[in-house]
Amino acid sequence: MKDREQQNKTIKKVILKTVLITIVILIAIVFTDKKGFFNPDNRNNHTLKKWDSFYDFTKKNDVDILLIGNSHLYTGINPKNLSCALGVNAFILASPGTRVIDHYYSLEEAIKVSKPKLVIIETYGIKEHEVFQLKKGPLSDQFKSFSARRDFSLKLKSTPYLFSAKHYPYAWSNTLRNHDFIFNNYKQISNNIQLSKKRKKKQQKLYLGRYVRFQTGVEDSVLNLYNTKGSPVNGADFKTNNTTTIYINKIIGLCRENNIQLMFLTLPMYNKHIENYSLWRNKLKLNLDEFGDMDHWLDLQIPENYSGFSRNSFENTYKTNQHMTYSGSLLATYKLVDFINTRNFLENYSRKTTQKWRNVFYADEGFFENNTPVKHDKNNRVLYKDKNIEILLLKNSKYNTLLAKVNPITSKKNQIELESILKSNNTEYTQKLVLNLDIYHSTKSNLNYLLNINKQVENIEIIGIENL
Amino acid sequence: MLFNSVEFAIYLPIVFTLYWYAFNRKVKSRNIFIISCSYLFYGMWDWRFLSLIIISSLADYIIGLRIYSNDNSKHRKTLLLISILINIGILGFFKYFNFFTDSFLTLFNVLGISLSYERMNIILPVGISFYTFQTLSYTLDIYRKKLEPTKDITAFFAFVSFFPQLVAGPIERAKDLLPQFYKTTEATYKTIRSGLILITIGLFKKIVIADRLAIYIDSCYGNIGDAHGLPLLIAVIFFAFQLYLDFSAYSDIAIGIAKTLGFNLSTNFNSPYLSTSFSDFWKRWHISLSSWFKDYVYISLGGNKVSKNKIIRNILIVFLLSGLWHGASWNFVIWGALNGLFLVILDKYIIKLFKLNLFKHIFIFFSWAFSLIFFRAQSFSEAIYIFKNISLSNKDEIYNMGLNSPELNFTFWLLLGYMIIEYLNERKGSLTSKITEHNTYIRMLFYILLVLSIIFLGKYGVDFNDTSFIYFQF
C-alpha cells in the first residue's frame, strides 16, 4: 500500500514537471507566434488582408451578402460594384486553392461575426478533396486560409477535418512551420522583428475582398493553342467525393439553421477553354440536389448565361486554371446583380438611402455606375442626362473619367460621339470625345461605359451627342 | 509509428499513464497491456505482419519448453534446428529471397545458362531482423543450458514484442530482459527522469543533427553523377556521423522509453568514434548485434580457441554474415568483409603504430567512414565511382548540397561540439548525470533549453520528407 502511494506520488511528480516544462515550451512558441517572428512574407497575403478587413469592416457594419470561394471568386466578382448596384454591403472571403471544406469553416466563422442575408458559394471549389493527401501548394493554401481566421474555438474544431495529424502543429504555429528561417531566410525574421516593434497600420481604403490580377484578355497565341491542341479542361475529368457532398450539405444546413438565403455561383472560363462542360455540370447538379429546382444556382458557363463574355473577359493562359479579367469580372458582377434581383433574394432590402452606407461607398469604385453624385460634390457631377443616357464627370487623384450610363433597351450602337467643350488652364476648346461601346459588361439593368480623359482638363460641358 | 511523430507524442503519455495507474498492479495484466500496446505500435506500420511476430513468439515459446524438458541430445538438436529454420526461414524469405534468387540467376547467366523467373514483390516487415534474432537467442540459450525457459506465455510474448525495442533493437537477451516481465516494475523518480532525458537527447541527435546531415548526404547521393571532390568527401564523412547518430538516437529513445516504464535495456552504443582499435570499435558499436554474432556464431565456430587461421576465418565469416544481416545486397557483404579485414589486418599491423589516441580515433573513423561508402551506395558501381571521385577539389560546390553556407558551418560546429561532449563523457563521466545533480532550476533550464533547441534547430516541417530511422530498413 505504501509502495503504491509512493509510486503514485512519483508518477504525479513526473507528470507535473513534464506538464510544467511543456507549458513553458508552449509559452515560448506562442510568444514567437504572437510577435510574428517566423511569419512568412505577408505583403502579398491577400487572404490575411481579407480576413483582417472583414473583422475591421464588421466592427461598424453588417455584411449583407457574403461570397465564399477561392481565386475564381475574388478575381471574378467585384464586391464594390455588387454592393453599389444592390445598395448593400457585400464581402468576399476567398482563399486561393481552397475547396468546399474550407468554404464551410470560413462560412461558419464569418456568420458568427456578422450574419448575412445571402451567402453565395462559388462552385470551383466544389471538387474531390482528400484532406490527408494534401501536399505542397494545396497544403500551403490551406495553411494560409486557416492562419488568416481568428476564432480560436472554431479553428480548433476544424483542425482535424482540414489537416492530417502530422500537420496540426504547422497549421497552428508559424514558428514550427517556418523555424527553418533561422538558416534559410534570416532576413525575414529580421524584418518580422522590426515589424513587431511597429504598430500595425490600419487599412485606409475600403477593401471588400477583391483581388484583381488580370487586365488583358486571351491573346491570339492562346487562341491558336485552342485550335491546335483543343481545350485544356475536360468536364469529364471533374470529380467529387464523399467529402464534397458532406460539406455542401453542411453549408446548406448551416444556412438553413441561421435563416440565411443561399445560392451557388459558377464563374465561367472562356468557352473554348473547356469542353464537355455538361458532364461537369451534371455532377455538380447531383451534389447540389438538396436545392431541388436549381433556382439558387447561377451558372455563367452555360450558353444562356454566357452572353457578353468574350476573350477579353478571361485570363490569357492555356493552363487549366483560368481566371477572369477585370472587365470579365464586371460583367459577371452585374449578371449576378440581375440574378439576385430577379429572384428577390434580398426581399427588396437596400441601404441606398441610409447615410451610413453612402458614407462607406460614396465615390468609391462602382458607386457612380449605380448611383448619382450629390449636388454639392465638386469632384463628381452629372454633365448630361435624358431618358436614354446620363453622363457623369468623375475626378479623382489619378485621372478624370467620363462615365456614360446608357439605357440598354435603346442603345444598339457601338460608339457614341460627344461634342464637348473642355476647359483647361483657362482655355476652352471644343472636342469630340468618342466612347467606344466595346461592351465589357452588359446586363439587363445597366450599360456603363467609361472614358478616361486628360487629367489636366478641369471642366467639361456636353453640347451634343451623336450616334446613340 | 515513428518515435519522432505527433502520433507517438500522443501515444506514449497515454501508455505511460495507463501503465502506472492501471496496469502495473498485477504482472499478468501488466504484460497483457504491454503486448497490446506493442502490437498496436507495430500494427500501425502494417498489421498484416503481426502474424509473423506471433508465429515466431509461439514457436520459440513451445520449442524452448520442449528443448528444456528433453534429455535426448538428438531431439534437442532437432528442436533447435526447427527454431532456427522458423526464424531464419521467416527472415530469409522476406529479406533474402529475391537477393539469392537474383544472385543465382546472375551466376547461371555467367556460366552460360539462361534462366528467368518473375521477381516476387515481397515487402520487408519492419523489425524482422531484430525480433527473429531476439527469439532465436532465447532457444539457443536454452539449448546451451544457460537459461531456463519460461512457462509464463504472456511474459514471453511481452519480452519478444516489447515496443521500445521491437523494430530496431537493442537485441535483448532473455536472461537480461525476460526476468523483468516476471514482476511488476517500480517507479523511481530518478529512473523515469533519466529515461525522459535519454528520450530528449535521442530526439536531439536525430532531429537536429542526423536529419540535417541527411539533407546533405541525400543531395549528394541523389545526383551522384554530378557530385565530385570535396562535397563527396564531406558526404562520406557526414554519413558516418548520420548513421551513428541516427541509430544511437533510436537506441537512446528505446532505452529511455523502457526506463520510464521501469525496464532496463542494454546499452547499444558506447562512443564508438573514440575507439582505440577496431576490436574496441566493435565492442562499442551496435553492441547488442556484435555480441549476438560473437556469442552465437563466432563462439560456435570455435571462437579464439582454434588456430590463428581459423580465428581469422571465423572473424571474416562473422563480418560477412553481419554485412548480410544489414541488407540483401552484395554491397553490404563487401562492407562486412572490409570491416572484417580491418579487424584482422589493420589492428594487428597499423593501429599499433599510432602513439596518440587521437590519431587512432581519426584513422579508425576514416577507415570506417570509407567502408560505409558500400553501405550507403545503391550499387557496387556507384561505390567505385565515389572512391574514384573523392578529393579536396570543387570547394565552391560544398554549399550547393542542400545546406547553405550558414547551415553547413553550423553543422560542422554541431558535430565538433557533439564529439567534444562524447569525449568529456568518456573522460569525466556522464555530463547529463552531472547536470541532474544540480538544483531544480538548473535542471529545468537544461531540459527547457534542450527541447527548445530541438524545436528551433531541428529538421522537420511540412516540406521535410519524413525520415524514419535508418535501421528500420534492416
Q: Assess whether pLDDT exceeds 70 at residue B467.
A: no
Architecture of the domain made up of A56-135+145-158+206-343: 3-Layer(aba) Sandwich (3.40)
Select the residue of B187, B188, B447 nearest A21 (Cβ to Cβ).
B447
Domain with CATH 2.60.40 in chain A: 376-466
For chain B positions 430-469, those within 8 Å of chain A (CB to CB) are 444, 447-448, 451-452, 455-459, 461-463, 466
For the ranges A96-100, A458-462, B99-103, the maximum mean pLDDT occurs at: A96-100
DSSP states along B400-457: GSSS-HHHHHHHHHHHHHHHHHHHHHHHH--HHHHHHTS-HHHHHHHHHHHHHHHHHH
Report CB contact under 8 Å: A179, B188: no
Residue B70's alpha-carbon distances to B22, B73, B80, B139, in angstroms, are 40, 8, 11, 13
Q: Lowest mean pLDDT: which of A178-187, B56-65, B299-308?
A: B299-308
* Chain A contact set for B466 (CB, 8 A): 166
Query: Rounded to 10 degrees, what is the CA torsion of B254, B258, B260, B264?
Result: -120
pLDDT at A447 over 90: no
Q: In whole angstroms, what is the distance from residue A229 CA to residue B268 CA? A: 63
Flag whether pLDDT at B330 surpasses 50: yes
* Integer Cα distance of B237 and B367 in angstroms: 10
Which is nearest to A86 in space by CA: A389, A352, A304? A352
| Separation of CA A39 from chain center | 24
Q: Chains A and B: how many Cβ contacts under 8 Å?
A: 77
Residue A293 has a pLDDT of 57
Mean pLDDT of A290-304: 82
The predicted structure's pLDDT at residue A327? 85
Q: What confidence category does residue A2 fall into, taking pLDDT thresholds of 50, 70 and 90?
A: low
Q: What average pLDDT does this structure show over B173-182?
A: 94
Tell me what pLDDT residue B466 has: 61
Residue B408 above 70 pLDDT? Answer: yes
Mean pLDDT of chain A: 87
Task: Name the residue among A21, A136, A167 with its Cβ closest to that of B448.
Answer: A21
> Does pLDDT of A370 surpass 60?
yes
* pLDDT computed for residue A440 by the predictor: 43
pLDDT score for A196: 85
CATH number of A376-466: 2.60.40
Is the confidence at residue A178, as pLDDT, over 60? yes
pLDDT mean over B95-118: 79
Q: A382-392: per-residue pLDDT in tens?
A: 888 877 778 88
Residue B194 with chain A: CB contacts under 8 Å: none
Quickly state the pLDDT bin for A172 (edges 50, 70, 90): very high
More confident residue, B456 or B355: B456
Crossing angle between the packed helical segments B405-428 and B230-260, to the nearest 10 degrees: 50
Distance from CA of B466 to the nearest CA of A (A): 10
pLDDT tens, residue by residue, A218-227:
999 999 999 9
Total Cβ atoms within 10 A of residue A454 = 10
Q: Nearest-CA neighbor of B178 among B157, B161, B191, B159?
A: B159
Domain with CATH 3.40.50.1110 in chain A: 56-135+145-158+206-343
Q: What is the mean pLDDT of residues B200-208?
A: 94
Q: What is the pLDDT of residues A191-210, one digit of tens each?
A: 999 888 887 666 678 888 88
Active site residues of B: 326
Which of B162, B352, B154 is CA-nearest to residue B257? B162
Tell me the average pLDDT of chain B: 90
Shortest CB distance from B6 goes to which of A14, A165, A182? A165
Residue A183 has its nearest CB partner, among B193, B406, B448, at: B406
Give yes or no for residue A329 having a pLDDT over 80.
yes
The amino acid sitting at A272 is K
**Interface contact B188-A10, CB threshold 8 A:** yes
A149: pLDDT strictly greater than 90: yes
Note the pTM of the prediction, 2 decimals: 0.85
Residue from A379, A381, A459 nearest A421 by CA: A459
Q: Which residues of B touch A176 (CB under 8 A)?
A: 455, 461
Q: What residue in B sits closest to A175 (Cα-Cα)?
A: B456
Contacts with B25 from chain A: Cβ below 8 Å: 4
Q: Are B438 and B135 in contact (CB under 8 A)?
A: no
Predicted confidence band of residue A136 (pLDDT cuts 50, 70, 90): confident
